Amino acid sequence: MNYMELEYPSCPLCHSENRRYAYSRFETYKVVGCCSCGFYYLYPRLTETAMFKLYADDSYFEGDHAGYTSYSGQEVALRTTFQRLMINLKKNKLTGGSLLEIGCGYGYLLDEARKFFTVRVGTDFSERATKLAASKADFIYCGGIEQVPIQEKFDLIIATHVIEHVYQPQAFVKEILKHLKPGGSVVIATPDMGSFWRYLMAHKWPSFKLPEHVLYFDKRSLSVLMKQAGLANVKPLPYPHAFPLPLVTAKLGVKLPSRLSKFNLWMPATTLALYGKFYA
Ligand SMILES: [Zn+2]
């Protein structure tokens, strides 16, 4: 670790400098709670420039040191998760028009969205990911939402497992709103800091993924963020998440008989998802 690359941020939601250590047994980075608004965030954290260098490294998706432990190895579980998500979006009348996904990875969600949306567009910072996602969507932009031309507006914008990586969350949600049609909706999904798993597993909670996860939302803080940005009718969206059984047993430290290694497990209360509407 090059200590020149660390920064010591104020609360990313309310900008208070008052904080207390919540999870301090990690080596370099600590998870702190804001004494003013209760939000949890990483302190210190890598500078955004240093973090972008890490994401630009292709081994982020396939390496085992940081990022995802073989993202493509989770393809079946992710596709199963996104099939269920599409059904839940449809039940809440969020399907049917144009879809933009921020941080689309290899494009599994966009591919599963084929039957549910007329236009499907994605963005991702990883060049390798955008190449793999290209065949699964109508268009993929390499980079963040700022790469999407301002005249392109969508009925639904989804950011799943993205906001926990974002350095300036308020600016990020406002940027999303610029790309919504009037009456359009936004879905934001992120690991649930309010989940019993966090209390149960403490420092071993898998969503304490350092140094990439810089923000830790629960239902209350995510709802505040979305409403402050200008979204209305902010409500929870059911978001059950399937994981490969070998991944789950490894995290729990349980030995798995090899004949069970192909199974997926629906894990309750791992992902928090909220959606809100935008009336321009
Ligand atoms: Zn705060």
Q: Is the pLDDT assigned to residue 57 strictly greater than 80? A: no
CA of 22 relative to ligand 1 center, distance in Å: 14
Structural domain total, the chain: 1
CA of 33 relative to ligand 1 center, distance in Å: 8
CA of 199 relative to ligand 1 center, distance in Å: 21
pLDDT in tens, 23-38: 998 989 999 999 999 9
CA of 35 relative to ligand 1 center, distance in Å: 7
CA of 207 relative to ligand 1 center, distance in Å: 20
Q: Is the pLDDT assigned to residue 258 strictly greater than 70? A: yes
CA of 17 relative to ligand 1 center, distance in Å: 8
CATH number at 19 reads 3.40.50.150
pLDDT in tens, 162-213: 999 999 999 999 999 999 999 999 999 999 999 999 999 899 998 999 999 9
CA of 19 relative to ligand 1 center, distance in Å: 8
- What is the pLDDT, as a whole number, of residue 65? 45
CB hemisphere CA count around 213 (13 angstroms): 20
CB 162 within 8 A of CB 103: yes
Q: How far apart, in whole angstroms, are the C-alpha atoms of residue 184 and residue 211?
A: 33
User: Which of the pair, 211 or 257, is modelled with greater confidence?
Assistant: 211
CA of 238 relative to ligand 1 center, distance in Å: 27
> What Cα–Cα distance (Å) separates residue 22 from each residue in 9, 34, 39, 65, 241?
16, 10, 11, 24, 26
CA of 251 relative to ligand 1 center, distance in Å: 31
Give the pTM: 0.92
Q: Is the pLDDT assigned to residue 129 strictly greater than 80? A: yes
Question: Which domain does 74 fall in, by range?
Answer: 3-277
